[in-house]
Every structure is written in structure tokens, then in C-alpha cells.
Structure 1
Amino acid sequence: MMDLPSLVSDYTIDKKHLQLVIGIVREGDVEYYSFDNNKKERLIPPEHKLFEIGSITKVFTSIILLEMEKEKLLTSDDFVGKFVQNVENDYLNKITLRNLATHTSGLPILATNHNLAQKRSNPYSMYTEQDLTAFLSIADYTDSIGSFGYSNIGVGLLGYILCKVSGCTYDELLKKYITSPLKMNETAVMLDAEQKGRFLNGHASTGKRVPHWDLSIHEGAGGIVSSVSDLSLFVQANLNDDNPLSSTLQKSHLPIWIGNSNRHFGWGEDKLLDKDILWHNGGSAGFNSYLAFNKELRVGVVLLSNYSFFSNVLMDYYWSQILKWVTKKEPSQGMMIDSTGIKILEEIMQRETSLK
């Protein structure tokens, strides 16, 4: 029997308002676990509580790209300049939609004209289509094309292009291509009244309640809200061939040689117990998430938390750094959930290996 309380103890300590929900996924089975320090939220079944999933959204955006490519609405080799015709910039005719999906366009993590401090509690809500156009008109990262550089603005731009080509909102694309086929009825950008009732409050690393994020132009980079139940369905779809998206998901698992390394559409790749895992994490001002799976053993894990791994208040950040220096360890409030997810997945993989 897995000792989950021990595996998550480093993360759960000192988090008064914590809602941590875990899905342990096997090919044909899902087990849910929750660690709940807030009694007020216990009326909602843990697997149906809704969280911001942050950058895990990027995986969904890449899947939408591949689905639209399958319908011949565009190709991943199309140049970005084809879709931003109101901007004259030769750099945009050197980078492709594939570059945006694999973080190899050279674009920075944020646009140079994006001032996060303008509204620190909801930093993406202020960035407009006009701001994006202004940035793209002068952007030139030609020397970095082909090299990996994680880019929120890059995948945000990809989502923006997919919406322009289709004439749909990002929420509509998500429903059409992914959530409806996979029956992920709790996953969306725009929530209805019932879903809003299950949408948890988010907390900064210090425990302070913070507003939900509005991603605006960056919806494709981090705008999705979901549950551990739905994300476990998504992991199962990636482990199984018997679903409407199987061919597209399989394509997203294949490495693509770009520049000097292998990349994937949306996914990160790593090794655990000498076996390949595909994964992505996410974070916002009030939430932290992690999703990973191993195809060989047909297992995966999903973790969703309503605590951020950083604070949106600069003084809180400095205080956490002082604590880190004094205690010689990472403050529990500021831990990313990734390390906990990796420990759980490693335990699952060890058990599955011993059974084979």
C-alpha cells in the first residue's frame, strides 16, 4: 500500500487553506486522493473541484493545432507571418507554428512590452491584441530560432492564431477538438454558474487569497480550468488507443528533432527509473499543477493544488528567500508540486515494474 501522506508531507505542511487532489492513473483505472486543510470546501467531491491548471493548457493548444492540421485548416509548417498580415516583420516569416508549439521560435518567455507589475495579482489581463501587434512588429529573435526557450508569449500567439483561423474562441476550440470527444465536461476557459460554484479560491505561497487569472490574449498558454477527474481522463486517453483523439495524441508523443535537440508538441520529456515520461506542469498566482505519465507501464499521475509556488507580493518573495538562506532549505509554502508528483509517479512505476 502506497504511503501517500508521507509522500506529500513536505508539500502539505504549513498550508492552512490547502486543497490538494491527486489522481493515480492506470490504463483502465483511476484512484483519487485528497488532502484538505479547509473544512468549508469539503461538500464538493474532491475529484470534481475545479482548479486553474496554468501551463498544462499548452499541451491542449498543441493538440488543437494537430487536430486543425488534420482537417487541413493549416499546417504546423506554416509561417507565423501568414497569420499576422497586419504586421510587416521578416522574422515572422522565419518561424513556424511548429516552432511556437515546441518553444523553438526564439521568442522570450514574455513579450518585452508586457509589464507584469502593472497588475501583479492578474498580470495577463491587461495585455491586449494591440499590445501583441506592437510587440510582433519589432520582435527579432532570428539568432535563437531552433533553440529551446520556454515562451508564454509564443504559445499564447499560437492560440491566438488558431482562433483567428477557425473564427472560434479558444473555449470553443477546446470543446470541439478535445473536451467533447473525450467527455471532459469539467474542463473549460469560460465556466457556467454551476462550475463557478466548484471553482476553488487560489492562494499565494504565503496563504493569502488571490484573484483568479484572466489570461486574455494568452488563453492558449494558460487559460484552462479543470478537475483531477477530467485530467485523469486525459491521461488515460494518452495511454490508450481506443479514443477519438488517439492518432493525434500519438503524434504529440513522437519526438521532433529541431535545432540540436528533440522536442514534442506541447509535452516535456524526462527519464524516471530509466524509463521515458511525458509531463507538463502549471502555475498561476493561486494554483499549482503537475501531470505526467509513462506509456510503457501504462501509468500516470495528476496533482492539482490551490496554492501557488510563488507569491505575487514582492516582499513575500524576499522573505521566503531569507528563510531559505537561514534554514538551508526551500520554504514549504514556496515548493513547486512537481517534486511531489515525481515521487508519487516513481512509486507507482516501481510497483508496476515489480508486478511484471
Structure 2
Amino acid sequence: MKDLQNFVSDYTKDKKHLHLAIGIIREGDIEYHSFCNSKKKSMVPPENMLFEIGSITKVFTSILLLEMEREKLVSPDDIVGKYVQNVDNDYLNKITLKNLATHTSGLPILATNHILSKNRSNPYSMYTEEDLTAFLSNADFTDKIGSFEYSNIGVGLLGNILCKVSRSTYDELLQKYITTPLKMNETAVMLNSEQNDRFLNGHASSGKRVPHWDLSIYEGAGGIKSSVSDLSLFVQANLNDDNPLASTLEKSHLPMWIGNSNLYFGWGEDKVLDKGILWHNGGSAGFNSYLAFNKELRVGIVLLSNYSFFSNTLMDYYFAQLIKLITKKEPSQGTMIDFTGKKIFEAIISSEKSLK
């Protein structure tokens, strides 16, 4: 793509440790670009460097739900209480796996007994299954069922349930249902030694290096690490009807009317120019990610950065509040990668529309 530097210059400036990897995807082609401000050069191709992808993981968890439905192991309409049998709480019999996947269960962004100060640099690692059970024993958000409220604990619970039903780890589910069929060999929660060598250090918006996060119970909500190469293959599969996951991915593209809005299994909905897109973003203390695609024009984009972000958009606002709770300080304002991604995607869609 011509003039890509002009689109990313605002984002790349003043980030001396930055690695920014971009995939521009068409139905039959993937084009990679990268921008690096670090003086320390790497022998690893930028498209194969590994990043934390944060909440983009939630899309994968929803796809796992639909794949396990296809095998009749679970149904999105199953009540949560069916799978949390060591807890006696009628609220869990009022919400479904679909509610967890679409953020309409009423559950808050974090469990109310999640004490972030236990480990400020790795805030999810200390939250155990016993903590989750204790939270679910007393949880009651009945009055919010059906309304959208972004919930990390909700999708984390969904991932936990899918693992228990299948008697598998989250990585085993990923390999069986998504990464092996789509030949995504660089996507996992737990990395092997070779993958770890390609796993970038993350940086806060100030440039300070920050520890990698361990998601524990929340791994289905944000635990995946991946590369722009693998995520581009994933986007390409969403554009192409000729792949092993085509029917499942197609189901994830269908809107469901819940409460007073259209919602999707895993995806968010937006418009670029006059074209509808499905998208998701993600962030941790040291990484920022964004992917989106338009099925009509068969184009998509992936951006991965090893710098964190803070903003006031819906999903990212909650992340900024999480950091505020951890550090007891107002978060510094970084540049969100979504804005850069949308600018590039707008140019791509404009170009594709002119060719039609």
C-alpha cells in the first residue's frame, strides 16, 4: 500500500522501543508492513514476531463455543448454572453461554472479589478458580441481563466452562478447532521456547518496559499471543468461504437482536465510509491490537503494537480504569492504535470501492 508511512507517523513518533506490524488482507493475498523504532535489530521477520493480543482473544473464545456447538458438546442457549455445579445460585440459571459471549449476562468487567493490588504488575495472575467460585456463589446481576456490559470475567468464565466440558486446556481447544485447521502455528496462550524467543517486550505508553501478563482464569478473555502473520490468516479465513471453519465463522458474522441492539459472537460492529465492518481490539499493559474486515469487499486489516494504549472508547475506557485502579494514578494518555487502523482501512475500502 502506498503512503502507509503517512498513516502511521502520528502513532510511531516518540516510541523508541516500538515494533508495529501490519497485515493488509484480501481474499487471496496478504501484504505485510512493519515499522520499528528500536535500535536493536532482530533477525525475526516482523510478521512472525509475537505480541499479546489482549481482548481479540474473546473472538477466538466465541468461535470455540460455536465449534463445540457444531459437535453437540454445548449449546449457546445452555444455562451457565448447568456447568457451575458446585455453586447454588439461581442467577446462574438465568444466564446462558450466549449471554457470556455477547456481554449481556450482567456480569461486570471484573469479578467484585478481584483484588488488583495483590500483584499490580501482573493483575490477573493471582485470581484463582477458588476466587471465581466464591464470586459466582454470591453474584446477582439479574436486573442487567440482556443489556450490553463489557465483561472480562464473563468471557473468562465462558472459556473456563469450555475447557471443563472438553476436559482440555484452552491451548488444546485452540489447536483442535482453530489454529491447526487454519495453519496458525504461532498462536497460543502458553508459548514454547522457540516462540518465546520471538515474543516481544511490551511497553507502557511512557515507554517503560512492563512485564508480560498471565491471565489465569481470564485466559479466554485475553490470554492469547499471536503474530500478524497468523492473525492475517484468521482474517483471511473470515473473508474466504473455502476453509475448514467457514460455516462456523459465517455464523459468527450473523447479528443477533439482544435487548435493544444487534450483537455478535465475539465481534463488534462498526462502519468505515458506508461499509459495515466486524472488528475487535485488544490491549494489555504493554501491547495494543486491532483487526477488522469487510466481507462484501473481501478486505481486512491487522495491526499489532508492543506499546499500550489508553482512550475513552467503550472497550478501552474500561482498560484505562483498570490501570487507574492498579496504579492509583490517572493513566497517561497514549495514542490508540484503532485510530490508525481505521484510517488505513478507510483508504483500503475507498480503493476497493473505486475498482468495483
TM-score (norm 2): 0.94
Q: Distance in 2 between matches of 1:26 and 1:83?
A: 40
Describe the superposition over 1:32-72 as per-residue Cα deviations: whole angstroms up to 9, x where unpaired. 11110113243110000000000000000000000000000
Residues 120 and 327, structure 2, Cα contact 8 Å, conserved in 1: no
For residue 3 of structure 1, report the CA deviation from its aligned partner.
1.3
Matched length: 344
Distance 1:206 1:239, change over 3 A: same
What is the aligned partner in structure 2 of residue 138 from structure 1?
Answer: 138
What is the aligned partner in structure 2 of residue 115 from structure 1?
Answer: 115
For residue 115 of structure 1, report the CA deviation from its aligned partner.
1.8
Residues 58 and 266, structure 1, Cα contact 8 Å, conserved in 2: yes
What is the aligned partner in structure 1 of residue 313 from structure 2?
Answer: none
The amino acid that maps onto 1:278 is L
Q: Distance in 1 between matches of 2:2 and 2:141?
A: 48
Q: Secondary structure at the match of 1:290?
A: strand
What is the aligned partner in structure 2 of residue 341 from structure 1?
Answer: 341
Structure 2 stretches of 5 or more lacking a match?
A: 311-319
Describe the superposition over 1:187-226 as per-residue Cα deviations: whole angstroms up to 9, x where unpaired. 0111111100000000111111111110000010000000
The amino acid that maps onto 1:95 is I
Matches within 5 A, 1:304-319: 304-310=304-310, 318=330
Q: Secondary structure at the match of 1:318?
A: coil
The amino acid that maps onto 2:240 is N
What is the aligned partner in structure 1 of residue 160 from structure 2?
Answer: 160
For residue 318 of structure 1, report the CA deviation from its aligned partner.
3.4
What is the aligned partner in structure 2 of residue 20 from structure 1?
Answer: 20
Q: Distance in 1 between matches of 2:16 and 2:95?
A: 46
Q: Secondary structure at the match of 1:117?
A: helix
For residue 299 of structure 1, report the CA deviation from its aligned partner.
0.4
Q: Distance in 1 between matches of 2:152 and 2:330?
A: 24
Matches within 5 A, 1:232-311: 232-310=232-310
Q: Secondary structure at the match of 1:282?
A: strand
Distance 1:91 1:255, change over 3 A: same
Residues 68 and 74, structure 2, Cα contact 8 Å, conserved in 1: yes
Residues 121 and 211, structure 2, Cα contact 8 Å, conserved in 1: yes
Residues 159 and 170, structure 1, Cα contact 8 Å, conserved in 2: yes
The amino acid that maps onto 1:196 is N
Distance 1:350 1:317, change over 3 A: farther
Q: Secondary structure at the match of 1:241?
A: coil
What is the aligned partner in structure 1 of residue 88 from structure 2?
Answer: 88
The amino acid that maps onto 2:19 is Q
Residues 2 and 347, structure 1, Cα contact 8 Å, conserved in 2: no
What is the aligned partner in structure 1 of residue 315 from structure 2?
Answer: none
Distance 1:316 1:297, change over 3 A: farther
Q: Secondary structure at the match of 1:242?
A: coil
Q: Distance in 2 between matches of 1:104 and 1:23?
A: 32
Residues 64 and 177, structure 1, Cα contact 8 Å, conserved in 2: yes
What is the aligned partner in structure 1 of residue 149 from structure 2?
Answer: 149
The reply to whether residue 221 of structure 1 matches residue 233 of structure 2 is: no
Structure 1 stretches of 5 or more lacking a match?
A: 321-330
The amino acid that maps onto 1:289 is S
What is the aligned partner in structure 2 of residue 326 from structure 1?
Answer: none
What is the aligned partner in structure 2 of residue 4 from structure 1?
Answer: 4
Q: Secondary structure at the match of 2:181?
A: coil
For residue 315 of structure 1, report the CA deviation from its aligned partner.
7.0
For residue 185 of structure 1, report the CA deviation from its aligned partner.
0.3
Q: Secondary structure at the match of 2:243?
A: coil
Q: Distance in 1 between matches of 2:161 and 2:75?
A: 12
Q: Distance in 2 between matches of 1:299 and 1:316?
A: 42
Describe the superposition over 1:213-272 as per-residue Cα deviations: whole angstroms up to 9, x where unpaired. 100000100000000000000000000011000000000000011111110000000111
The amino acid that maps onto 1:189 is V
Q: Distance in 2 between matches of 1:158 and 1:94?
A: 15
The reply to whether residue 33 of structure 1 matches residue 45 of structure 2 is: no
The amino acid that maps onto 1:272 is V
Residues 293 and 299, structure 1, Cα contact 8 Å, conserved in 2: yes
Q: Distance in 2 between matches of 1:32 and 1:59?
A: 22
TM-score (norm 1): 0.94
What is the aligned partner in structure 2 of residue 324 from structure 1?
Answer: none
Residues 207 and 307, structure 2, Cα contact 8 Å, conserved in 1: yes
- CA RMSD between the two structures: 1.4
